[in-house]
Amino acid sequence: MKDPSMVMGKLYHTMLTTLVRDDETYVKWDFWWGLGRFPDLEHPKTYNEKLSWLKLHARRPEYTMMVDKYDAKEYVKGIIGEEYIIPSYGVWDRFDDIDFDTLPDQFVLKTTHDSGWVIICKDKSKFDKRVAQKKVAESMKRNLYSTHREYPYKNLKPRIIIEKLMVEADSNSLKDYKFFCFDGEVKMLFIATDRPVDTRFDFFDRDFNHLPFRQGHPLASKPIEKPEGFEEMIAIAEKLSKGIPHVRVDLYNINGKIYFGELTFFHFGGTVPFKPEEWDYKIGEWLKLPEIGC
């Protein structure tokens, strides 16, 4: 059974896309849907307001390459080296072009332009290609520029990428470490656990102190230990975010080995509230907006 709030959200954004043409008006109503008020785009103070401002004014052409899940690997490899890149088995324009017979028994399938889902295959003999094709077809139609006015995605070509399945030795899943970088400096991160069934998000400062707020998901049911190589992860995130007003650098730490995940310019689309709200303002103070056009 589908989540009623997700169904309503999809209908709302379909209506917005149909009725609203200019980006600023769209961004304001998108913000209203998530936070119950309109953003102050003239004098933004909160983190979510500043993300909304960046949607309208931070539009570097290279951002499109940086958010593409395939092209970003080449970009990142040039900065930190190939040893941090999860191997890809290929990239395709159409699902029908994939020769599954040539793939290993385990892999991860996703699209290069979308967010929030992957297909994990742990046994190819049980892989349902019809279900996968349906999910891919739905994803290929989505565009984060259309739904949230995230400009880097506007001209992004939808493709399908298949990668090596990476798992931790003591787990069937991965912890996702997401570093919030401001002008090349890590200020905080959150760790996603228990995906995909019961996702939990916990926020930490750069010294790995647990931060007292939530956003979007409940906290983990048990303490999260500081990973081996945490300082190296911070160094990598800061290298990849140098010269950028704000970007979230997503990394994995798999059995002590660090891998690049993706780059995200608009965390949660800038439309998910913090609880308590004061943290929206505190984090907003870290984000120094650039001159228009930068």
What is the pLDDT, as a whole number, of residue 10? Answer: 85
What is the pLDDT, as a whole number, of residue 167? Answer: 83
pLDDT in tens, 70-83: 999 999 999 999 99
Could you identify the residue written with the tokens 């049911």? 221
Are 259 and 251 a contacting pair, CB within 8 Å?
yes
* CA pair distance 107, 119, nearest whole angstrom: 8
pLDDT band for position 168 (cuts 50, 70, 90): confident
User: CB 4: neighbour CB atoms within 10 A?
Assistant: 8
Instruction: Delimit the domains of the chain by residue range.
Output: 84-167
User: CB 115: neighbour CB atoms within 10 A?
Assistant: 19
The first and second tokens of residue 97, run together, are: 């072009």
* CA pair distance 161, 178, nearest whole angstrom: 21
3-state SS, residue 186 = strand
Give the chain's mean pLDDT: 93
3-state helix, strand, coil in the chain (%, to 5): 40, 20, 40
C-alpha torsion sign, points 67, 71, 77, 83: positive
What is the pLDDT, as a whole number, of residue 2? Answer: 62
pLDDT in tens, 272-290: 999 999 999 999 999 999 8
Alpha-carbon 249 to chain mean position = 9
